[in-house]
Structure 1
Amino acid sequence: MAPMGIRLSPLGVAVFCLLGIGVIYHLYSGVISSRLAAFRADSSLIFSGQKKPVDMRELLAVSVEAAVLGGKEVKAVREENGLQEKSKGKTREGVSEPLTNGDLQSHRKMFNLIKNTFPEITVNSEEHDNVVDKVTWSREIPADILEKIEGGKEVPPESVTVWIDPLDATQEYTENLVKYVTTMVCVAVDGKPVIGVIHQPFTGFTAWGFVGQGSNMRARPSYSISPPKVIVSRSHSGKVKSFIQDAFGNSTTVIAAGGAGYKVLALLEMPAGETATDQADVYIHITFIKKWDICAGAALLQALGGQMTTLKGEVIDYAETPLNKGGLVATVGVDHKAVLEKLPNWDPDKH
């Protein structure tokens, strides 16, 4: 007897094909729907003229990556002795402001990384040039940021101002006093400092803080303001010493240091294994200072419950002009108002 075979009628073949198509449609319809929804969302932003909102956790990650990338340039230029130092002018007090290849190389990496990732936000840098670098974000969010910071917090790009200092403490950098050197990024939203990143290129350590969210730093267990240890600028240590002694007494310890970023870290507790900075209770500056020098520190301190104000206790706006004319007082872990009340009358505009 001949073996029996299974024969499908043309109608059966058609039914089988239709069933197969149904299964495939079921499997892919969810993917297609989600992609269409994303396309419609992006299209609605484009055609309505709206700008894509900025994810703040991503901006924090990009800020950290930018500071580290700039720091690598700073370190490489110093180690290769390729500073190519020149002066970009003098400060209001008549002090020469050096500019090095480290400043410029760091600026190009930091500025372009942030602008390439978030082209619609405002980025202010201490340095300026027309060199375009196609550097792009790695799309990686560090584990400590994922652990401490919630995602999904978005703001309109027009409310964001980023301040970057590609090389803080350039004078000390030229003198090879590299412990003072930092690279810094600050994100201000509607003029208020929200994200602060301070990176130390020669140790590899990065401090960051997100106001209202968290930080990888913490305040020290105790501070004193009776009298305090006060950290000040090396370039103005003479005038500020008498100012501080008038405020807190002649036994007050005054620490002269370079770099605003370094001085903020001196108020905090460094993690175990990191190179210790000078330890201070208060940071005071009595002359004009640029906002890219202080914005990152302001955000970092505020994330830890601290404050940075003018000498008169005024809030500093980080959405406007680069120059802060009111001097500054920075604290954490102490009564900020009590510190302000001890200060003598001083007008930075007259000194």
Structure 2
Amino acid sequence: MTLSELTAIALTGGDEILKIYGTSFDTATKADSSPVTQADIRCEAVMKPLLAGLAPQVVIVAEEAVSGGEIPADARQLFLVDPLDGTKEFISRNGDFTVNIALVEDGVPVAGVVYAPAIGTLWAGSTEEGAFRAEVKDGVLGERRAIVARSAPDSLVAVGSRSHGSAETEAWLKRYEVERFVSRGSSLKFCLVAEGEADVYPRLGRTMEWDTAAGDAVLRAAGGIVTTLDGQPLRYGKRRQASDVDFANPHFVAFADPRLAMKLAQDAG
């Protein structure tokens, strides 16, 4: 499958979100205490059959379906889908929310699309096609502009969560010389690293695989890497974990420059 095919599905999902974004909508709370809106549900409901039609052999792991008790089968190929990453940002109407679709093969995110419908920007990347950014107007994708993660400068730009900041993250960053810290919501943080606007994104808090896989795929396609705190590449499709639930991530760090990740692995060793 191509990035164009995944991009078209993300744009369709984003259209559903925008239909609700400018209206009055209700918010519910899921069992894990996270919020959910009709936009999350409708976007996922639109995209799932499109993904199934595109690649029937690929198992779909979608956030709202899993939250509702739909347990996907084990598979070496997965679509990891977060229909509305950054629901808190959606509710506060600040624009920092995204539609995330990733294709994972043997634990590795090989293709991903991150679409920010309120901002009108989409990022995508794959191992075969590289990474790009494009603006979206009236649901139509504009010209693709190739993006590349940058080499680490002497002083780094760090990016972190707008809604989930922590003192632990601040303490972890003290190992580097950080010139500036930028707060953004959802998977947009991965995209800033992928397009050369930031150097490091540490997340020392709870995330699930559908939160990170698409942004991870874009960053890897742009030349960066996402690792656990011991410097090992973040893996996907994690089932029957002794210490956590299916598809839960450990703490991780996204790097623009893989050399920083190598240093992290050496320090851990």
Alignment-derived partner of residue 62 in structure 2: 125
Structure with greater strand share of residues: 2
2:164 partner SS: helix
1:244 partner SS: helix
Shift, 1:220, TM fit: 5.3
Shift, 1:331, TM fit: 1.4
Alignment-derived partner of residue 39 in structure 2: 102
In structure 2, give the amino acid aligned to 1:74. I
CA deviation vs aligned residue, 1:144-172 (integer Å, no higher than 9, x gap)? xxxxxxxxxxxxxx632110110011001
CA–CA separation in structure 2 for the residues paired with 1:242 and 1:203: 28
Do the aligned partners of 1:199 and 1:207 also contact (CA within 8 Å) in 2? yes
CA–CA separation in structure 1 for the residues paired with 2:64 and 2:44: 6
Shift, 1:342, TM fit: 9.2
1:65 aligns to 2:2 (yes or no): no
Alignment-derived partner of residue 175 in structure 2: 247
1:172 aligns to 2:115 (yes or no): no
Q: TM-score, normalised by structure 1?
A: 0.63
CA–CA separation in structure 2 for the residues paired with 1:307 and 1:78: 33
CA deviation vs aligned residue, 1:48-69 (integer Å, no higher than 9, x gap)? xxxxxxxx33xx3332111111
2:253 partner SS: strand
Shift, 1:283, TM fit: 0.8
Q: TM-score, normalised by structure 2?
A: 0.80
Alpha carbons of 1:341 and 1:254: their partners in 2 closer, same or farther (altered >3 Å)?
A: farther
Alignment-derived partner of residue 337 in structure 1: 261
2:30 partner SS: strand
Do the aligned partners of 1:186 and 1:296 also contact (CA within 8 Å) in 2? yes
Structure number with greater Rg is 1
Alpha carbons of 1:233 and 1:344: their partners in 2 closer, same or farther (altered >3 Å)?
A: farther
Q: Please point out which of 224, 232, 241 is paired with 1:306.
A: 224
Alignment-derived partner of residue 125 in structure 2: 209
CA–CA separation in structure 2 for the residues paired with 1:280 and 1:263: 9
Structure with greater helix share of residues: 1
Do the aligned partners of 1:188 and 1:194 also contact (CA within 8 Å) in 2? yes
Shift, 1:282, TM fit: 0.5
Q: How many residues are paired up?
A: 245
Alignment-derived partner of residue 89 in structure 1: 31
1:65 partner SS: helix
Where relative contact order (Cα < 8 A, 6+ residues apart) is larger, the structure is 2
2:234 partner SS: coil
Shift, 1:334, TM fit: 5.3
Q: Please point out which of 169, 182, 195 is paired with 1:269.
A: 195
List runs of 5+ in structure 2 lacking aligned partners: 67-74, 133-145, 240-245
Q: Please point out which of 127, 144, 148 is paired with 1:219.
A: 148
Shift, 1:256, TM fit: 2.6
2:214 partner SS: helix
% identical aligned pairs = 26
1:183 partner SS: strand
CA root-mean-square deviation: 2.8
